[in-house]
C-alpha cells in the first residue's frame, strides 16, 4: 500500500526567475549525506544515484527539473493512473455506471492473497459487505493500491480503452499490463503471456487454488523479478497526472480527479493528487498540486535497484514525497533539489 505521507509545515509562494539552469549557475550548498530517513537525506540520495533515480518536476510557473525523464524503468503501482483514466472516460461516456453494484466475489477472482502488502485486506476493512459500487472498487485501486481492481477494469473495458485513455493523457506508446499476471509469473515461471495467466486465474478455480498454494521466493529473486515488470518513464507519468490536473485530459477529468484527490492538500493549494507504487527494490511517486489560480505543479520520482535494506527503510518513512511536494511549493527546496540533480 502506497499513500501520500508527507508533512509541509508552511507553503511559501514560488518566486519568479528560477530555473534548473539558474540553480546550477548559483553557488550550491554541500549536498547532505545520502539516506532515506528524511527529506534532507533524500536530497543526498538523489544526488548520489543518478543512474537509478529519474525525475520530472514542473512547478507550473516555468520552472522544471528533469533527470532521465524519458528513460523507462519499473513503476509498480504508479501505472494504475491509466486504468483509472480509462474508467473515468467510460463513466463520462455512459459506458460504465459508477454506482453499479459489484459482487466482492467478482472483484476477488483477480486477487492473490498475501502478495500486495496488505492492500486488499485494508480496502475490505474500509469497504465492507458482499457488494461494493464500481466507484468504490476503483477507490481501492487508488487509496489502498489494490492489485485486483486494475485487472478487473482491464477485463471489463478491454485493452483499447486503456490505450486510448493513456493517449488522452499524453502517453502514446502505452501497453496494457497486469499486476496479477506479473505475480503469477513470479510464483510460477514459464509463460510470457501474463494476461492469459491472469484470465485463467480469474476463471479457473482449480488453477487459482494451485497458484495460491505456491510459496513466495526469496527477496533476491523478487528483486530480480521486479526489474522485469511494467515500465514507464517519469515524463509519461507526469503527463498523465498533468492532463488530469489541468483538465486537458478531457471527458472524465472530474471523475479521475475525485479518485486521485482524496487526501487533504497542503495549505495554499486547492487539491493534491497522488498515485505511487512499490515492488521489491522499486519505489515510484507521482504527485500533482492544483492552485486556486488554475496553475498546476507535477512531480514524479522513480527509483529502481534499491538495496533491500534501503528500500524497506524508505517504505517506512516515505520522505521522498516531502522532497517532491516541497520542491513544487517552496523555492528554497526547488533550488536545493536542482543543485542535487
69-81 pLDDT tens trace: 999 999 999 999 9
Distance CA 227, CA 220 (A): 11
Query: How many beta carbons lie within 10 A of that of residue 294, not counting itself?
Result: 10
What pLDDT, on the 0 to 100 scale, is given for residue 27? Answer: 83
At 232-257, the pLDDT tens digits run 999 999 999 999 999 999 999 999 99
Q: Is 89 domain-assigned?
A: yes
pLDDT at 7: 31
Task: Examine the fold and report which residue of 226, 247, 262 is the final residue of a domain before the chain moves on.
Answer: 226
Claim to verify: residue 153 and residue 193 sit in the same structural domain? yes
- Angle (CA) 204-192-141 rounded to 5° is 65
Three-state SS at 134: helix
Whether 90 and 206 share a structural domain: yes
In a domain, 196, yes or no: yes
- Is the domain of 159 the same as that of 30? no
Verify that 104 and 71 share a domain, yes or no.
no
Asked whether residue 243 falls in the same domain as residue 300, the answer is: yes
All residues at 6 or more sequence positions from 128 whose CB lies less than 8 Å from its CB, including other chains = none
CA gap 88, 25 in Å, rounded? 43
Give average pLDDT by consecutive 10-residue segment, the chain, 341 residues: 40 30 65 97 98 97 96 98 98 98 98 96 98 98 98 98 98 97 96 95 98 97 98 98 98 98 96 98 98 96 98 97 96 95 95
Domain count, the chain: 2
Instruction: Specify the pLDDT at position 4.
Output: 57
H or E segment and range at residue 14: none
Predicted confidence at residue 26, as pLDDT, reads 62
Is residue 218 domain-shared with residue 239, that is, in the same domain?
no
Distance CA 55, CA 302 (A): 7
Asked whether residue 210 falls in the same domain as residue 307, the answer is: no
Q: How would you label 87-126 residue by residue, b for 16+ Cβ within 10 Å and e otherwise?
A: bbbbbbeeebebeeebebebbebbbbeebbbebbbbbbee
Does 12 map to a domain? Answer: no
**Residue 291, domain extent:** 20-75+231-340
Q: Residues 99, 209: one domain? A: yes
DSSP symbols for 192-206: S-HHHHHHHHHH-HH
Q: What is the pTM of this model?
A: 0.93
Backbone angles phi, psi at 27, to 5 degrees: -75, 120
From CA 12, how far away is CA 266, in angstroms rounded?
11
Cα–Cα distance for residue pair 324/318, rounded to 1 Å: 11
Q: Which three cell numbers stand for residue 236?
A: 509519461
User: Element (H or E) spanning 266, and its range?
Assistant: none
As beta bridge partners, residue 289 has 272, 297
Amino acid at each position: 500500500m502506497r499513500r501520500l505521507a508527507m508533512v509541509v509545515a508552511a507553503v511559501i509562494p514560488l518566486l519568479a526567475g528560477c530555473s534548473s539552469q539558474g540553480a546550477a549557475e548559483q553557488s550550491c550548498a554541500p549536498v547532505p549525506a545520502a539516506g532515506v530517513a528524511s527529506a534532507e537525506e533524500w536530497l543526498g540520495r538523489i544526488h548520489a544515484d543518478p543512474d537509478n533515480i529519474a525525475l520530472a518536476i514542473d512547478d507550473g510557473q516555468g520552472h522544471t527539473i528533469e533527470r532521465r525523464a524519458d528513460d523507462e524503468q519499473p513503476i509498480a503501482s504508479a501505472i494504475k493512473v491509466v486504468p483509472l483514466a480509462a474508467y473515468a472516460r467510460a463513466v463520462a461516456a455512459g459506458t460504465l455506471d459508477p454506482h453499479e453494484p459489484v459482487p466482492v466475489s467478482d472483484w476477488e477472482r483477480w486477487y492473490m492473497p498475501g502478495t500486495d502488502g496488505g492492500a486488499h485486506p485494508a480496502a475490505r476493512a474500509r469497504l465492507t459487505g458482499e457488494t461494493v459500487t464500481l466507484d468504490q472498487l476503483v477507490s481501492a485501486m487508488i487509496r489502498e493500491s489494490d492489485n485486483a481492481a486494475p485487472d478487473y477494469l482491464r477485463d471489463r473495458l478491454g485493452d483499447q480503452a486503456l490505450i486510448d485513455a493513456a493517449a488522452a493523457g499524453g502517453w502514446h506508446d502505452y501497453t496494457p499490463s497486469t499486476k496479477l499476471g506479473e505475480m503469477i509469473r513470479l510464483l510460477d515461471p514459464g509463460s510470457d503471456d501474463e494476461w492469459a495467466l491472469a484470465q485463467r486465474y480469474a476463471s479457473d478455480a482449480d488453477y487459482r487454488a494451485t497458484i495460491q498454494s505456491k510459496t513466495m521466493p526469496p527477496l533476491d529473486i523478487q528483486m530480480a523479478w521486479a526489474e522485469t515488470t511494467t515500465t514507464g518513464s517519469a515524463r509519461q507519468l507526469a503527463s498523465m497526472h498533468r492532463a488530469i490536473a489541468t483538465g486537458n485530459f478531457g471527458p472524465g477529468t472530474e471523475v479521475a480527479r475525485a479518485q486521485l484527490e482524496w487526501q487533504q492538500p497542503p495549505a495554499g493549494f486547492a487539491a493534491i493528487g497522488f498515485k505511487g507504487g512499490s515492488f521489491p527494490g522499486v519505489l515510484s511517486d507521482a504527485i500533482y498540486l492544483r492552485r486556486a489560480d488554475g496553475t498546476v505543479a507535477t512531480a514524479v520520482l522513480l527509483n529502481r535497484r534499491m538495496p533491500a535494506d534501503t528500500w524497506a527503510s524508505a517504505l517506512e518513512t516515505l520522505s521522498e514525497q516531502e522532497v517532491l511536494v516541497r520542491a513544487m511549493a517552496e523555492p528554497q527546496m526547488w533550488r536545493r533539489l536542482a543543485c542535487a540533480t
